[in-house]
Amino acid sequence: FFPQPVFFIDYAGVRDFGGKTVEVSCPESIFDVATMFECKLEQTVLFKKVVAAVLDIVKEGNFDLSDEGIRVQTMDTTHVALVQMELKESAFDEFRCDRESCVGINFEALTKLLKLCRDDDSLSLKKEE
């Protein structure tokens, strides 16, 4: 039995491996489940910079997903700094949110994952029911 992931990150791009150009694409999902949230950025540079800025202050927090966009509001462990960030739906090339929800995010792990993406790679985020 494998636990079902609640949040998928999909990226696509072109990589050069020793003179061979290889197109890289992750599958959207191996589960047959209804999608309740998905968004896409044609370039990851904005999202990478936002996540890096948040990581400078907090290690984990929540993505509050709504039809208005993605919102983060969390305090650092010493309760000195408050991070409040919002990416409006208009910042994305594609955006759909069927109902509001909250997803816990480890920003350190997300940053490591985003380092695999180049700035001009596309990035898709998806949450399924």
Q: Does some domain include residue 112?
A: yes
Q: Does some domain include residue 119?
A: yes
Q: Does some domain include residue 2?
A: no
Q: Could you tell me the two tokens for 37?
A: 């949230």
User: For residue range 96-106, what is the model confidence (pLDDT) as tens digits?
Assistant: 999 999 999 99
User: For residue range 7-64, what is the model confidence (pLDDT) as tens digits?
Assistant: 455 555 555 545 554 444 444 444 445 678 999 999 889 899 999 999 999 999 999 9
Rounded mean pLDDT of 114-119? 88
Single out the residue of 63, 66, 39, 38 nearest to residue 50, CA to CA: 63
Listed in sequence order, the residues at least 6 apart from 84 whose beta carbon sits closer than 8 Å to its beta carbon are 72, 73
Query: Residue 123, Cβ neighbours under 10 Å: how many?
Result: 23
CATH number, domain containing residue 31: 3.70.10.10
Q: Does some domain include residue 115?
A: yes
Q: Give the strand pairing for 7-17 and 20-25.
A: antiparallel
User: For residue range 55-95, what is the model confidence (pLDDT) as tens digits?
Assistant: 999 999 999 999 999 999 999 989 999 999 999 999 999 99
Q: What is the mean pLDDT of the chain?
A: 80
For residue 48, the enclosing domain spans: 7-128
**Are the C-beta atoms of residues 22 and 14 closer than 8 Å to each other?**
yes
Quote the number of domains for the chain.
1
Q: Does some domain include residue 1?
A: no
Q: Could you tell me the two tokens for 124?
A: 């898709």
Q: Does some domain include residue 101?
A: yes
